[in-house]
Amino acid sequence: MTEDTRVLYNADCPICNFEISHYAKYSGDRALPIRFEDLNRAEMADWGLSRDEAARRLYVLKDGQMYSGIPAFIVLWQDMPRYRWLARIVALPGLHWLASKTYDHVLAPSIYRWHLRRQRAVTSTSS
């Protein structure tokens, strides 16, 4: 029996939440076996990650294997019929390399830095 695909994301991040909420609605409307878990409420021991580690990128757990970054997106997209074409394209060797480098060195770090700034702003206004 195949386990549900589990997606760990940061619901406090407006960019992450916007994208993942779209996938969650699509998956829910079709009763796809995908569970979306907000890292701010999830049991992190199940993932073997700290909240800070999890906030740095997307993580997907499927069939006992953990994926992160672009490979995680590919696994997620493969489980959603509307996005399988995207998974196939992004998995192509040259495009996979380019997408991974862009995500790993530009997008994920920028979103994470923005996350830290938002956290500091919330902390400073609540003090």
* DSSP per position, 18-66: HHHHHHHHHHHHTT-SEEEEETTTS-GGGTT--HHHHHTS-EEEETTEE
Confidence of residue 119 (pLDDT cuts 50, 70, 90): confident
- What's the whole-model pTM score? 0.92
Rounded-to-integer distance, Cα 23 and Cα 120, Å: 29
Task: Indicate if the pLDDT at residue 80 is higher than 70.
Answer: yes
Task: Indicate if the pLDDT at residue 17 is higher than 90.
Answer: yes
Q: What is the pLDDT of residue 1?
A: 45
Task: Indicate if the pLDDT at residue 122 is higher than 90.
Answer: no
